Structure 1
């Protein structure tokens, strides 16, 4: 007798897909907001400065709780999703505008900058996040479960420096930063800010890691 009951693939009860989605979303949104140059007093930065550090917080959670391979999978997911977005942006710009649509120039100007920004972001993101995850898991192999703060701070310093340096050197001319002094300012401010944010929110990172480990029966 033929079984007529519908069959479905069981979705694993894990927080990993949610964390992966948040990780990719933060990276995608940051690529759009980073196209705007921002000056706050003497500081020169971009419009993603307040959001992008969250990608490293989530990256720390992924690497600490799920390991380097799982973190690497999330990094590549963000990488290829962003490439897909760039292609979609260019197709949308290329498509003929309707007669009633009056914002084609603005649409092209904003999203037309994204590919160069995304190239810078992808290069920095891939290097920085890989360094971050690799450093965290390397330290964890030596320290075990103790000294989480060493893993978080050490991986942040290494990852954020690689990310910020590569991104800023490529992206600076796109957002209007052309002098050497402003470029140095951009790199230093970006690195210090992102690292400082991660240190400030470390109690939150600790809490999230503890909650994820408990939720995923990490110690079972």
Structure 2
């Protein structure tokens, strides 16, 4: 596998992926009502991270995607620690925004744990399935591979988050309802964005001279190196 310096756009794809993750965890506190659907504000951008996760795995391979997933986890954890540390610092006498800051940016430990666990499990399931399907289909039918991997990855992500975050506070029906609508919207993103995914993947494969197949890849999710 080539080094990072051998790729022209890998840093850009990584940066967009990590940005989507961090921003989604900030705007998640916004509760959106769309007809019968109750969604979090993260629905605006979080599904895009799955699209770029697909792009990473499809072009650069599972090992590279795995490394980026862990980078995203570390960056998100750093952002949370910085936000929480700033919240604990004493506010200036003339500043009256502390309560608003705490309400919007203050993370309940349970939601934080739910978000981090769901992210890791969902992204690794998505990347693993996509890499395996690429081998099984010999690189054909990209649309079916990205949609299939997202369907399963988002099931894991949404179910784990809802279970850890809401068990004991919401009824089973409420948890299933929220999870279903979140999952449906996230997967709809992937389907609608399929033409864009095709265009980006084809462009990157052509310009990067890379179309990685994970024939001999170690799929251990705990590894960070790309070797």
Q: TM-score, normalised by structure 2?
A: 0.86
CA distance in structure 2 between the aligned counterparts of 1:41 and 1:207, rounded to whole angstroms: 33
CA distance in structure 2 between the aligned counterparts of 1:178 and 1:93, rounded to whole angstroms: 28
Aligned pair count reads 208
1:46-65 equivalences under 5 Å are 46-65=40-59
CA distance in structure 2 between the aligned counterparts of 1:20 and 1:115, rounded to whole angstroms: 27
SS at match of 2:45: coil
Residue 171 (structure 2) aligns with:
179
> Is the CA contact 1:34–1:117 (under 8 Å) kept in the aligned structure 2?
no
Moved more, 136-145 or 10-19: 10-19
Residue 136 (structure 2) aligns with:
142
Segments of 5+ residues of structure 1 without an aligned counterpart are 1-9
Q: TM-score, normalised by structure 1?
A: 0.88
CA distance in structure 1 between the aligned counterparts of 2:158 and 2:197, rounded to whole angstroms: 21
Distance change (3 Å), C-alpha of 1:35 and 1:199: same
Say whether 1:212 aligns with 2:204: yes
Displacement of 1:194: 0.6
Per-residue CA deviations over 1:119-151 (Å, capped at 9, x if unaligned) read 222111100100000000011111112121221
> Is the CA contact 2:65–2:127 (under 8 Å) kept in the aligned structure 1?
yes
- The structure that has the greater radius of gyration is 1
Residue 31 (structure 1) aligns with:
25
Question: Which consecutive segments of 4 or more residues in structure 1 shift more than 6 A?
Answer: none
Displacement of 1:179: 3.3
Highest RCO, 1 vs 2 (Cα 8 Å, sep ≥ 6) = 2
1:1-220 equivalences under 5 Å are 12-113=6-107, 115-172=109-166, 178-218=170-210
Distance change (3 Å), C-alpha of 1:100 and 1:12: farther
Per-residue CA deviations over 1:34-74 (Å, capped at 9, x if unaligned) read 12222211111101112111000000000000000000011
Residue 6 (structure 1) aligns with:
none
CA distance in structure 1 between the aligned counterparts of 2:141 and 2:6, rounded to whole angstroms: 30
